[in-house]
Structure 1
Amino acid sequence: MLFELSLLQWVVLCSAAFILGLSKSGIKGISVIIVAMLVFIFGAKESTGILLPMLIVGDIFAVIYYNRHAQWRFLWKLLPSMVIGVLIGTWVGDVIPEQAFRKSMAAIILISILMMVWWERRTSKSVPDNLGFASTLGLTAGFTTMVGNLAGSFANLYFLAMRLPKNAFIGTTAWLFLIINVFKVPFHIFAWETITTDTIWVSLITVPFIFLGLFSGVRILKRVNDKLFRNFIFLATAVGAILIFFS
């Protein structure tokens, strides 16, 4: 696999790793762009196994840097239903063909965009801080993170609804995705067989570019206020949705 990639594919892969670093530094909403880039190189299902170890590298950094800002009460509301969603996603992804897999990824992210737009246009801004709301989004996020590493939009929607400040938002999602991504690893190895020795080597080569993105993102975020941060999440997610739909 290492020597079968063209120069263009290597450029796209390393660029995706850099963007992933930006995402894990706290610039949320751009992870959909990364998914689209890797689908372009490796295909829908295979790309999930390449991306997962890359995500975990970024998650570890994010937890170390933003740990003190985590709001655990929101995390525990979302995590149990996400675990169930991962189990459902593992089974579904194992039985559907590649083309259906790709279309499901596109549909999932487009639905998430509609949900985020609906939330922002509501006349009432009351926060549905209850277990049912968290469980619904958690189940969906768990399913989408297994099927295409696309949970970010649904998790973002939940934490945006909770009106978490920027650093609390980043710290809480950092822990959430580290836990859930590590949980997914055995399913990729033994159920889907999308993580192999070859794919691990590809993922490892991207690590320097991930760290470059991480450190760049931290510097950028120090200059961004909460309102601009929220607006960027919506814009980046919308762009990513278009890319995944046409990839």
Structure 2
Amino acid sequence: MNTMTHLTGWEFAALAFAALLVGFSKTAVSGANTVSLAIFAAVLPPRASTGVLLPLLIAGDVLAVRTYRRHAHWPTLWRLFPAVAAGVVVGTLFLVWADDAAVGTSIGAILLLMAAVTVWRRRTAEVAEDPDAVVTRAGRLKARSYGVLGGFTTMVANAGGPVMSMYLLSAGFRKLGFLGTSAFFFLIVNVSKVPFSVGLGLINGPSLLLDAALALFVVPGALLGRWAVDRINQRLFERLVIAATVVGGLQLLLR
């Protein structure tokens, strides 16, 4: 894969912008990091790009947890983790044989489907669900479905953010609860993916060297996101999340 010595100035600048966007997405508009995913896949070999991006996502997750840790909804997290673990295993098996085209097409289609379902649900439902209410209804099946999809997409393309964003929005989470819950969710899930990524050869010495340089740009992105989130109302926040999901899905589907 490309290392820092093989990158042109413009390529490194593009990756630096993508790293900044990772930090912003973790503390402001979750799902926006699908744009980062597309940039990394355009500059680096697509499969290898996921190994470079994962440590940067973990850095962003740590910053997000420090910022929103008091707003996490742990019952939701415990409902999701078993299904996500199953999705990660399926995603790992998928990566063993899938080529870059299959990965991009599969994830793009899933993201667009999730966005369409979420928009339809929000237009037909008069009242948003209570996050605690999903324990007793068809919400269990929904949590498992989104969990498996989230685990699968996060393993094969680091694109689980939009899937889980759609789940948290459909469950009725408000802005800070959304950010706090997703922060812990992705910190735990992304750290658990590291052994799989190392085993697949996606994380190695050259990728970590590039990460060391790009991590410097995640911090200002996170600070910018924290500043912006207080200035975004709930309706705009939800629209931005859905829009980022659609854009990311189209980029993956059409690249």
Say if 1:30 and 1:233, in contact at 8 Å, map to a contact too: yes
Counterpart for residue 104 of structure 2: 102
Is the partner of 1:206 in helix, strand or coil? helix
Amino acid in structure 2 at the alignment position of 1:180: V
Matched residues, percent identical? 33
Equivalent in 113, 121, 140 of residue 149 of structure 2: 140
Is the partner of 1:193 in helix, strand or coil? coil
Counterpart for residue 195 of structure 2: 186
Counterpart for residue 159 of structure 1: 168
Structure 2: runs of 5+ lacking an equivalent: none
Deviation at 1:57, TM superposition (A): 0.3
**Counterparts of 1:143 and 1:198 in 2: how far apart (Å)?**
26
**Counterparts of 2:189 and 2:238 in 1: how far apart (Å)?**
24
Structure 1: runs of 5+ lacking an equivalent: none
TM-score (norm 1): 0.94
Deviation at 1:116, TM superposition (A): 2.5
Is the partner of 2:203 in helix, strand or coil? coil
**Counterparts of 1:157 and 1:25 in 2: how far apart (Å)?**
17
Amino acid in structure 1 at the alignment position of 2:97: V
TM-score (norm 2): 0.91
Deviation at 1:166, TM superposition (A): 0.7
Say if 2:150 and 2:164, in contact at 8 Å, map to a contact too: yes
Amino acid in structure 2 at the alignment position of 1:121: R
Pick which of 166-175 and 106-115 moved more.
Answer: 106-115
1:81-122 deviations in whole A, cap 9, x for unaligned?
Answer: 001100110011111223322322322322223222322332
Amino acid in structure 1 at the alignment position of 2:85: V
- How many residues are treated as equivalent by the alignment? 246
Kindly report which structure 2 residues correspond to 1:1-247, keeping only aligned pairs within 5 A, or say none. 1-123=3-125, 125=127, 127=129, 129=134, 130-190=139-199, 192-247=200-255
Pick which of 49-58 and 22-31 moved more.
Answer: 22-31
RMSD of the alignment, in Å? 1.5
When residues 241 and 211 of structure 1 are mapped into structure 2, their CA distance, relative to the original with a 3 A threshold, is same
Deviation at 1:141, TM superposition (A): 0.5
Pick which of 51-60 and 109-118 moved more.
Answer: 109-118
1:3-34 deviations in whole A, cap 9, x for unaligned?
Answer: 11122211110010011110111322211111
Say if 2:19 and 2:218, in contact at 8 Å, map to a contact too: yes
Is the partner of 2:159 in helix, strand or coil? coil
Amino acid in structure 1 at the alignment position of 2:230: K
**Counterparts of 2:122 and 2:94 in 1: how far apart (Å)?**
31
**Counterparts of 1:125 and 1:221 in 2: how far apart (Å)?**
24
Say if 2:28 and 2:228, in contact at 8 Å, map to a contact too: no
Say if 1:44 and 1:101, in contact at 8 Å, map to a contact too: no
Amino acid in structure 1 at the alignment position of 2:235: K
